[in-house]
Amino acid sequence: TGIYVAPTIDFLGIDSVQKHAINKKGTKPDFCFYEIGRFCELLIKGNPIIIEMLFDIKGRECKNEDCCYLEKERQRFLSKAVVGQYLGYMWAQRERLLKGKSLHTSGGEYGEKWAYHIVRLGMELKNIATGGPKVWFEDGSDRDILMSIRTGKMSKDDVIGLVDDIILECKATEFDLPKVGDKHFLDRWLKKLRISRSGHEVDCCC
């Protein structure tokens, strides 16, 4: 997953600017790139993928000044809207899991990768209450649970029970967060970026 900046001049033309680029052919590499404007829209809405992009900085050197600045200000975008997005996704996937519908697997079969992803998001939601998503689980009980799921040592029913417990716990948690992220700050940052890139070719920033 990455970000690109479309030339500012393109927004003045007749054709709409491409907001994302996805490899839909099912071949490697599996990628999805967002135009920076779409990235900002999803960030304010609290999209889990976008939120975790700002927190996934372990072992990665930021090479772009604009993106580095946004990463340093990432706490501004943790909000109750983010909590709602995480909970909504978890609940929707729980329902699919109960009905045997597929997402990461084919044919409607239960898949450890799918179950792992749902539980990991729940754990990240609890982390958001205390500072933000970790993205990487290198040790501790949470990692042990995730590895048990990923290696097929936890049954489907056990996973559903675990998801239910996490959802109930998170709903009972008083998240000390604003209603939405700092849209004013993000709007000023994006406008400054657009102006500074006026007339430039398409430029990848992350």
pLDDT tens-digit readout, 157-189: 898 899 999 999 988 888 999 999 999 999 999
pTM here is: 0.82
| pLDDT value at 202 more than 50 | no
Percent of the chain clearing pLDDT 90 (strictly above): 39
| pLDDT value at 205 more than 60 | no
Kindly report, residue by residue over 79-120, the tens digit of the pLDDT: 999 999 999 999 988 888 787 665 554 445 566 777 888 899
* Average pLDDT for the chain: 83
The letter for the amino acid at 17 is V
Q: Which of 64-78, 83-97, 103-117, 141-155 has the lowest mean pLDDT?
A: 103-117
Percent of the chain clearing pLDDT 70 (strictly above): 84
Q: What is the pLDDT of residue 110?
A: 61
Kindly report, residue by residue over 119-137, the tens digit of the pLDDT: 999 999 999 988 889 888 8
Q: What is the pLDDT of residue 59?
A: 57
- Would you place residue 199 in the very low, low, confident or very high pLDDT band (cuts 50, 70, 90)? low
Question: What integer is the mean pLDDT of 37-63?
Answer: 87
For the chain, report the end-to-end CA distance as a whole number of angstroms: 9
| pLDDT value at 29 more than 80 | no
